Amino acid sequence: MRLRRYEPRDEDTAIALWLRTWQAAYPALDFVERLDWWRVRWRNELLPAAVVVVAEAEGGMIGFVTVDPKTLYLDQIVVAPEHWRAGIGAALIDEAKRLSPRGLDLDVNTDNARAIGFYRRQGFSIADAGVNPISGKPVHRMRWRP
């Protein structure tokens, strides 16, 4: 596995990986119907503000992380389901910490126990509670500070 900066040619692959991963995490939700919205958000909100780092193995994308070092916000960390629990997520978090050494904040759905446990193992703690403005689901604001 290697990490590298996102390139514009990665867009379709990254969006397909986002779709597949979120569908695996929340199989009851239809992420296909959100795909056009996600593509617009990816292009217009995330890419202009965030640094995106891609994880690759055998020439293929297996994950990515988006982090805005100005706001400390980690918006997305995506790892292909077949690579869950293989250290890819930890490597992406380490890279996000390197890119944003003052700290990181992220929101995670309160019902996503797998992700909450992962973030805790990476040194994050629950700092606040809120509601995702897009889905309306309750979220924890999790925070890492060096």
- What phi and psi values does residue 109 have, to the nearest 5 degrees? -60, 135
Nearest to 90 by CA among 144, 18, 14: 144
Look at residue 6 and give its three-state secondary structure: coil
Strands 2-5 vs 104-109: parallel, antiparallel or unpaired: unpaired
CA distance 141 to 109: 9
Q: Report CA-CA distances (Å) from 11 to 5, 29, 57.
A: 12, 23, 17
The pairs formed by 40-49 with CB atoms below 8 angstroms and a separation of 24 or more are 42/11, 42/14, 42/15, 42/18, 43/11, 46/75, 46/76, 47/6
pLDDT the model gives residue 101: 97
Give me the residue spans of the domains in the chain. Answer: 2-102
- What CATH homologous superfamily does 2-102 map to? Gcn5-related N-acetyltransferase (GNAT) (3.40.630.30)
Task: Supply the pLDDT for residue 29.
Answer: 67
Which contiguous run of DSSP H or E holds residue 114?
helix 113-121
* Distance in Å from the first CA to the final CA of the chain: 26
pLDDT above 90 coverage of the chain, percent: 76
Rounded to whole angstroms, how far apart are CA atoms 101 and 61?
Answer: 25
CA 13 to each of CA 1, 24, 98, 109: distance values in angstroms, whole numbers, following the listed order: 17, 17, 24, 25
User: Which residues of the chain are modeled with pLDDT < 50?
Assistant: none
pTM, two decimal places? 0.91
β-bridge mates for residue 5, sequence order: 53
What local confidence, expressed as pLDDT, does residue 59 receive?
74
